[in-house]
Copies of this chain bind each other. A is one copy, B any other.
Amino acid sequence: MTRLRNDTFLRALLREPTDYTPVWLMRQAGRYLPEYCETRRRAGSFLDLCKNPDLACEVTLQPLARYKLDAAILFSDILTVPDAMGLGLYFAEGEGPRFERPLRDEWEIRNLACPDPHAELQYVMDAVSVIRRALDNSVPLIGFSGSPWTLACYMVEGASSSDYRRIKTLAYSRPDLLHHILEVTARAVTAYLNAQIESGAQAVMVFDSWGGVLSEAAYHEFSLPYMQQVVSGLIKEREGRRVPNIVFTKGGGLWLESIAAIGADAVGLDWTMDIGRARALVGDRVAIQGNLDPSILFGDNEIIAAEARRVLDQFGPNPGHVFNLGHGISQFTSPDAVSVLIDTVHSHGRAIRSLA
Protein backbone atom coordinates (compact mmCIF):
# COMPACT_ATOMS: atom_id res chain seq x y z
CA MET A 1 0.00 0.00 0.00
CA THR A 2 1.31 3.42 -1.00
CA ARG A 3 2.17 5.43 2.09
CA LEU A 4 0.39 8.80 1.99
CA ARG A 5 1.75 11.42 4.38
CA ASN A 6 -1.79 12.82 4.78
CA ASP A 7 -4.65 10.40 4.16
CA THR A 8 -7.19 12.25 6.37
CA PHE A 9 -9.41 12.98 3.37
CA LEU A 10 -9.55 9.32 2.27
CA ARG A 11 -10.24 8.12 5.79
CA ALA A 12 -13.04 10.64 6.30
CA LEU A 13 -14.66 9.49 3.04
CA LEU A 14 -14.65 5.94 4.43
CA ARG A 15 -16.15 7.17 7.77
CA GLU A 16 -13.00 6.29 9.69
CA PRO A 17 -12.02 8.48 12.67
CA THR A 18 -9.68 11.40 11.93
CA ASP A 19 -7.91 13.95 14.14
CA TYR A 20 -9.62 16.85 12.40
CA THR A 21 -12.06 17.51 9.54
CA PRO A 22 -10.25 17.40 6.20
CA VAL A 23 -10.97 20.19 3.72
CA TRP A 24 -10.61 20.92 0.04
CA LEU A 25 -12.54 23.38 -2.14
CA MET A 26 -14.33 22.74 -5.37
CA ARG A 27 -12.52 24.71 -8.11
CA GLN A 28 -9.66 25.36 -5.67
CA ALA A 29 -7.29 25.77 -8.65
CA GLY A 30 -8.96 28.73 -10.26
CA ARG A 31 -9.25 32.35 -11.19
CA TYR A 32 -9.34 33.73 -7.64
CA LEU A 33 -5.59 32.91 -7.49
CA PRO A 34 -3.30 35.39 -9.31
CA GLU A 35 -0.79 32.59 -9.99
CA TYR A 36 -3.52 30.63 -11.76
CA CYS A 37 -4.34 33.62 -13.97
CA GLU A 38 -0.65 33.92 -14.80
CA THR A 39 -0.32 30.25 -15.85
CA ARG A 40 -3.59 30.48 -17.75
CA ARG A 41 -2.21 33.45 -19.72
CA ARG A 42 0.88 31.44 -20.65
CA ALA A 43 -1.24 28.43 -21.66
CA GLY A 44 -3.57 30.33 -24.00
CA SER A 45 -7.16 29.17 -23.67
CA PHE A 46 -8.79 27.28 -20.80
CA LEU A 47 -8.87 24.15 -22.98
CA ASP A 48 -5.20 24.54 -23.87
CA LEU A 49 -4.51 24.55 -20.15
CA CYS A 50 -6.61 21.40 -19.60
CA LYS A 51 -4.88 19.61 -22.46
CA ASN A 52 -1.30 20.40 -21.36
CA PRO A 53 -0.39 17.89 -18.60
CA ASP A 54 2.53 19.95 -17.24
CA LEU A 55 0.55 23.17 -16.98
CA ALA A 56 -2.50 21.30 -15.63
CA CYS A 57 -0.17 19.91 -12.96
CA GLU A 58 1.20 23.38 -12.22
CA VAL A 59 -2.24 24.88 -11.51
CA THR A 60 -3.38 21.78 -9.60
CA LEU A 61 -0.54 22.31 -7.13
CA GLN A 62 -0.90 26.09 -6.75
CA PRO A 63 -3.60 26.11 -4.03
CA LEU A 64 -1.67 23.42 -2.10
CA ALA A 65 1.34 25.72 -1.93
CA ARG A 66 -0.78 28.45 -0.34
CA TYR A 67 -3.14 26.52 1.93
CA LYS A 68 -3.04 23.36 4.05
CA LEU A 69 -5.54 21.53 1.86
CA ASP A 70 -6.13 17.84 2.45
CA ALA A 71 -6.61 16.84 -1.19
CA ALA A 72 -5.66 17.90 -4.69
CA ILE A 73 -8.14 17.69 -7.55
CA LEU A 74 -7.18 17.08 -11.16
CA PHE A 75 -7.39 20.30 -13.17
CA SER A 76 -9.74 19.51 -16.02
CA ASP A 77 -13.29 20.15 -17.23
CA ILE A 78 -16.47 18.15 -16.58
CA LEU A 79 -17.18 18.05 -20.34
CA THR A 80 -14.11 16.19 -21.61
CA VAL A 81 -16.12 13.02 -22.31
CA PRO A 82 -18.62 14.51 -24.80
CA ASP A 83 -15.72 16.40 -26.38
CA ALA A 84 -14.03 13.04 -26.92
CA MET A 85 -17.30 11.75 -28.39
CA GLY A 86 -16.81 14.30 -31.17
CA LEU A 87 -19.17 17.10 -30.12
CA GLY A 88 -16.47 19.79 -30.28
CA LEU A 89 -16.14 21.50 -26.90
CA TYR A 90 -15.19 25.17 -26.97
CA PHE A 91 -15.36 28.20 -24.70
CA ALA A 92 -16.62 31.51 -26.09
CA GLU A 93 -14.89 34.37 -24.26
CA GLY A 94 -16.80 35.41 -21.15
CA GLU A 95 -19.35 32.62 -21.60
CA GLY A 96 -19.66 29.07 -20.39
CA PRO A 97 -18.78 25.94 -22.34
CA ARG A 98 -20.41 25.21 -25.70
CA PHE A 99 -20.49 22.36 -28.19
CA GLU A 100 -20.01 22.92 -31.91
CA ARG A 101 -22.07 19.85 -32.79
CA PRO A 102 -24.83 19.33 -30.17
CA LEU A 103 -27.10 16.32 -30.51
CA ARG A 104 -30.08 17.45 -32.56
CA ASP A 105 -31.14 14.50 -34.72
CA GLU A 106 -32.09 10.93 -33.96
CA TRP A 107 -29.29 9.55 -36.15
CA GLU A 108 -26.69 11.57 -34.21
CA ILE A 109 -28.03 10.09 -30.98
CA ARG A 110 -28.07 6.57 -32.43
CA ASN A 111 -24.44 6.99 -33.61
CA LEU A 112 -23.12 8.05 -30.22
CA ALA A 113 -20.21 5.84 -29.12
CA CYS A 114 -18.07 5.45 -26.01
CA PRO A 115 -14.66 7.08 -26.47
CA ASP A 116 -11.52 5.12 -25.59
CA PRO A 117 -10.05 6.89 -22.53
CA HIS A 118 -6.57 5.99 -23.76
CA ALA A 119 -7.07 7.58 -27.16
CA GLU A 120 -9.00 10.88 -27.25
CA LEU A 121 -8.70 11.32 -23.48
CA GLN A 122 -5.06 10.30 -23.03
CA TYR A 123 -4.17 13.92 -22.19
CA VAL A 124 -6.27 13.57 -19.02
CA MET A 125 -4.52 10.34 -18.05
CA ASP A 126 -1.16 12.00 -18.67
CA ALA A 127 -2.14 14.89 -16.41
CA VAL A 128 -3.20 12.45 -13.67
CA SER A 129 0.17 10.66 -13.87
CA VAL A 130 2.19 13.88 -13.87
CA ILE A 131 0.23 15.31 -10.92
CA ARG A 132 0.55 12.08 -8.91
CA ARG A 133 4.31 12.15 -9.37
CA ALA A 134 4.49 15.82 -8.40
CA LEU A 135 2.32 15.30 -5.29
CA ASP A 136 4.84 12.69 -4.15
CA ASN A 137 2.36 11.06 -1.73
CA SER A 138 1.74 14.28 0.20
CA VAL A 139 -2.08 14.33 -0.18
CA PRO A 140 -4.44 12.23 -2.32
CA LEU A 141 -5.46 13.19 -5.86
CA ILE A 142 -9.16 13.34 -6.80
CA GLY A 143 -10.28 12.47 -10.35
CA PHE A 144 -13.70 13.50 -11.65
CA SER A 145 -16.28 13.62 -14.39
CA GLY A 146 -19.67 15.17 -15.05
CA SER A 147 -22.64 12.90 -14.40
CA PRO A 148 -24.47 11.29 -17.32
CA TRP A 149 -27.50 13.60 -16.91
CA THR A 150 -25.34 16.74 -16.66
CA LEU A 151 -23.28 15.73 -19.70
CA ALA A 152 -26.50 14.97 -21.60
CA CYS A 153 -27.81 18.46 -20.76
CA TYR A 154 -24.81 20.08 -22.41
CA MET A 155 -24.78 17.56 -25.29
CA VAL A 156 -28.43 18.25 -26.17
CA GLU A 157 -28.63 21.97 -25.31
CA GLY A 158 -25.21 22.73 -26.81
CA ALA A 159 -24.50 25.13 -23.93
CA SER A 160 -25.73 25.90 -20.44
CA SER A 161 -29.39 26.83 -20.42
CA SER A 162 -31.82 28.81 -18.30
CA ASP A 163 -34.77 26.51 -18.95
CA TYR A 164 -33.33 23.22 -20.34
CA ARG A 165 -35.99 23.40 -22.99
CA ARG A 166 -34.38 21.08 -25.53
CA ILE A 167 -33.48 18.27 -23.18
CA LYS A 168 -36.79 18.45 -21.32
CA THR A 169 -38.68 18.42 -24.61
CA LEU A 170 -36.74 15.23 -25.40
CA ALA A 171 -37.47 13.81 -21.93
CA TYR A 172 -41.20 14.42 -22.30
CA SER A 173 -41.60 13.46 -25.95
CA ARG A 174 -38.85 10.90 -26.78
CA PRO A 175 -37.71 9.48 -23.42
CA ASP A 176 -36.34 6.44 -25.31
CA LEU A 177 -33.77 8.62 -27.10
CA LEU A 178 -32.76 10.36 -23.89
CA HIS A 179 -32.30 7.02 -22.16
CA HIS A 180 -30.05 5.95 -25.05
CA ILE A 181 -27.83 9.03 -24.62
CA LEU A 182 -27.67 8.45 -20.86
CA GLU A 183 -26.86 4.75 -21.21
CA VAL A 184 -23.96 5.36 -23.62
CA THR A 185 -22.72 8.28 -21.53
CA ALA A 186 -22.85 6.28 -18.28
CA ARG A 187 -20.65 3.60 -19.87
CA ALA A 188 -18.25 6.29 -21.14
CA VAL A 189 -18.04 8.01 -17.73
CA THR A 190 -17.36 4.70 -15.99
CA ALA A 191 -14.52 3.82 -18.37
CA TYR A 192 -13.15 7.36 -18.08
CA LEU A 193 -13.10 7.38 -14.26
CA ASN A 194 -11.61 3.88 -14.15
CA ALA A 195 -8.82 4.99 -16.48
CA GLN A 196 -8.18 7.96 -14.15
CA ILE A 197 -7.98 5.54 -11.22
CA GLU A 198 -5.58 3.30 -13.12
CA SER A 199 -3.49 6.38 -13.92
CA GLY A 200 -3.27 7.34 -10.25
CA ALA A 201 -6.47 9.04 -9.02
CA GLN A 202 -7.01 7.99 -5.39
CA ALA A 203 -10.66 9.08 -5.13
CA VAL A 204 -13.21 10.07 -7.76
CA MET A 205 -16.14 12.47 -7.81
CA VAL A 206 -19.15 12.64 -10.12
CA PHE A 207 -20.54 16.17 -10.57
CA ASP A 208 -24.27 16.25 -11.28
CA SER A 209 -24.42 20.01 -11.66
CA TRP A 210 -27.87 20.04 -13.29
CA GLY A 211 -29.75 17.21 -11.58
CA GLY A 212 -31.52 19.81 -9.44
CA VAL A 213 -33.51 21.18 -12.38
CA LEU A 214 -35.57 17.99 -12.60
CA SER A 215 -38.77 16.99 -10.88
CA GLU A 216 -38.46 14.36 -8.19
CA ALA A 217 -39.81 11.70 -10.54
CA ALA A 218 -37.62 12.79 -13.47
CA TYR A 219 -34.49 12.90 -11.29
CA HIS A 220 -35.14 9.31 -10.29
CA GLU A 221 -35.66 8.33 -13.92
CA PHE A 222 -32.99 10.33 -15.78
CA SER A 223 -30.19 11.16 -13.37
CA LEU A 224 -29.85 8.96 -10.31
CA PRO A 225 -29.99 5.50 -11.95
CA TYR A 226 -27.17 6.46 -14.31
CA MET A 227 -25.01 7.73 -11.45
CA GLN A 228 -25.72 4.43 -9.73
CA GLN A 229 -24.61 2.59 -12.90
CA VAL A 230 -21.35 4.57 -12.88
CA VAL A 231 -20.70 4.01 -9.17
CA SER A 232 -21.34 0.28 -9.41
CA GLY A 233 -18.88 -0.02 -12.31
CA LEU A 234 -16.00 1.82 -10.61
CA ILE A 235 -12.74 0.18 -9.57
CA LYS A 236 -13.00 -0.05 -5.79
CA GLU A 237 -9.40 -0.83 -4.83
CA ARG A 238 -6.02 0.15 -6.23
CA GLU A 239 -2.45 0.23 -4.85
CA GLY A 240 -3.71 -1.86 -1.91
CA ARG A 241 -6.10 0.88 -0.84
CA ARG A 242 -9.81 1.54 -1.22
CA VAL A 243 -10.60 4.21 -3.87
CA PRO A 244 -13.59 6.13 -2.43
CA ASN A 245 -16.15 7.79 -4.66
CA ILE A 246 -18.31 10.88 -4.14
CA VAL A 247 -21.52 11.81 -5.94
CA PHE A 248 -22.78 15.40 -5.89
CA THR A 249 -26.10 16.63 -7.21
CA LYS A 250 -26.35 20.39 -6.86
CA GLY A 251 -29.89 21.13 -5.66
CA GLY A 252 -30.34 17.49 -4.66
CA GLY A 253 -31.00 18.01 -0.94
CA LEU A 254 -34.63 16.92 -1.26
CA TRP A 255 -33.47 13.55 -2.61
CA LEU A 256 -30.62 12.99 -0.17
CA GLU A 257 -31.88 9.68 1.18
CA SER A 258 -32.19 8.07 -2.23
CA ILE A 259 -28.83 9.50 -3.33
CA ALA A 260 -27.23 8.03 -0.19
CA ALA A 261 -28.61 4.61 -1.17
CA ILE A 262 -26.90 4.14 -4.57
CA GLY A 263 -23.73 2.67 -3.13
CA ALA A 264 -21.42 5.70 -3.17
CA ASP A 265 -19.01 6.26 -0.30
CA ALA A 266 -19.82 9.93 0.07
CA VAL A 267 -22.45 12.44 -0.98
CA GLY A 268 -21.72 16.08 -1.78
CA LEU A 269 -24.15 18.61 -0.31
CA ASP A 270 -24.80 22.16 -1.48
CA TRP A 271 -25.44 24.93 1.05
CA THR A 272 -29.25 24.93 0.99
CA MET A 273 -29.57 22.18 3.60
CA ASP A 274 -28.29 22.22 7.17
CA ILE A 275 -25.56 19.55 7.20
CA GLY A 276 -26.66 18.37 10.64
CA ARG A 277 -30.12 17.62 9.29
CA ALA A 278 -28.48 15.86 6.33
CA ARG A 279 -26.45 13.69 8.66
CA ALA A 280 -29.54 12.84 10.71
CA LEU A 281 -31.21 11.65 7.49
CA VAL A 282 -28.38 9.46 6.20
CA GLY A 283 -26.79 8.40 9.51
CA ASP A 284 -23.44 6.76 8.95
CA ARG A 285 -24.41 5.08 5.67
CA VAL A 286 -22.31 7.59 3.71
CA ALA A 287 -19.83 10.36 4.38
CA ILE A 288 -21.00 13.90 3.60
CA GLN A 289 -18.91 16.51 1.81
CA GLY A 290 -19.85 20.16 2.21
CA ASN A 291 -21.42 22.62 2.63
CA LEU A 292 -20.53 26.30 3.13
CA ASP A 293 -22.18 28.82 0.78
CA PRO A 294 -19.19 30.01 -1.33
CA SER A 295 -20.60 33.56 -1.12
CA ILE A 296 -19.80 33.61 2.59
CA LEU A 297 -16.17 34.09 1.47
CA PHE A 298 -17.20 37.60 0.32
CA GLY A 299 -17.96 38.46 3.95
CA ASP A 300 -15.95 39.67 6.93
CA ASN A 301 -13.30 37.40 8.43
CA GLU A 302 -15.19 36.99 11.72
CA ILE A 303 -18.35 35.97 9.85
CA ILE A 304 -16.41 33.55 7.61
CA ALA A 305 -14.94 31.90 10.71
CA ALA A 306 -18.31 31.83 12.51
CA GLU A 307 -20.10 30.29 9.54
CA ALA A 308 -17.37 27.67 9.07
CA ARG A 309 -17.66 26.74 12.75
CA ARG A 310 -21.42 26.53 12.36
CA VAL A 311 -21.06 23.90 9.60
CA LEU A 312 -18.58 21.90 11.70
CA ASP A 313 -20.81 22.13 14.79
CA GLN A 314 -23.88 21.07 12.84
CA PHE A 315 -22.14 17.92 11.63
CA GLY A 316 -20.55 17.31 15.00
CA PRO A 317 -17.44 15.31 15.89
CA ASN A 318 -18.67 12.12 14.19
CA PRO A 319 -16.51 10.51 11.51
CA GLY A 320 -17.49 11.00 7.87
CA HIS A 321 -17.31 14.74 7.24
CA VAL A 322 -15.19 16.30 4.49
CA PHE A 323 -15.45 20.07 4.65
CA ASN A 324 -16.00 21.83 1.34
CA LEU A 325 -17.99 24.65 -0.18
CA GLY A 326 -21.46 23.86 -1.45
CA HIS A 327 -20.34 24.83 -4.97
CA GLY A 328 -17.17 25.95 -6.75
CA ILE A 329 -15.28 28.90 -5.30
CA SER A 330 -16.05 32.20 -7.02
CA GLN A 331 -13.41 33.97 -9.10
CA PHE A 332 -14.17 37.09 -7.03
CA THR A 333 -13.01 35.52 -3.76
CA SER A 334 -10.08 37.07 -1.93
CA PRO A 335 -7.23 34.55 -1.38
CA ASP A 336 -6.99 35.84 2.21
CA ALA A 337 -10.58 34.82 2.90
CA VAL A 338 -9.62 31.27 1.93
CA SER A 339 -6.80 31.30 4.51
CA VAL A 340 -9.28 32.27 7.22
CA LEU A 341 -11.58 29.45 6.15
CA ILE A 342 -8.96 26.69 5.97
CA ASP A 343 -7.35 27.66 9.28
CA THR A 344 -10.73 27.78 11.02
CA VAL A 345 -11.76 24.38 9.67
CA HIS A 346 -8.56 22.75 10.86
CA SER A 347 -8.48 24.36 14.30
CA HIS A 348 -12.18 24.07 15.06
CA GLY A 349 -12.28 20.51 13.68
CA ARG A 350 -9.62 19.53 16.20
CA ALA A 351 -11.37 21.42 18.98
CA ILE A 352 -14.74 19.72 18.60
CA ARG A 353 -13.05 16.31 18.62
CA SER A 354 -11.09 17.08 21.79
CA LEU A 355 -14.34 18.12 23.50
CA ALA A 356 -16.30 15.08 22.31
Contact = CB atoms under 8 A, between A and B. Distances in A.
B251 A168 contact: no
A304 B303 CA distance: 47
Contacts of A303: 172-173
A67 interface: no
A83 interface: no
B216 A163 contact: no
Interface string A261-273: 0000000000111
A219 B332 CA distance: 23
A171 B303 CA distance: 10
A212 interface: yes
A219 B277 CA distance: 15
A32 to B, nearest CB: 13
Nearest to A271: B215
Contacts of A172: 295-296, 298-300, 303-304, 307
B217 A168 contact: no
Interface string A184-211: 0000000000000000000000000000
A298 B254 contact: no
A35 interface: no
A180 interface: no
Contact of A272 (B169, B251, B304, B310): B251
A296 B217 CA distance: 12
A42 interface: no
Contacts of A304: 172
A293 interface: yes
A282 to B, nearest CB: 14
Given A272-B251, A272-B254, A330-B163, A299 B214 contact: no
Contacts of A173: 298-300, 303
Given A254-B254, A273-B254, A332 B293 contact: no
Contact of A296 (B168, B272, B310, B326): B168
B168 A293 contact: yes
Contacts of A215: 271-272, 293, 326
B168 A310 contact: no
B274 A216 contact: yes
Interface of A: 163-165, 168-169, 171-173, 212, 214-219, 251, 253-254, 271-274, 277, 293, 295-296, 298-300, 303-304, 307, 310, 326, 330, 332
Given A164-B295, A216-B271, 4 more contacts: A165-B330, A172-B296, A214-B293, A216-B273
15 contacts: A165-B295, A169-B295, A169-B299, A172-B296, A172-B298, A172-B303, A173-B298, A215-B271, A215-B293, A216-B272, A216-B277, A217-B274, A251-B251, A251-B272, A254-B273
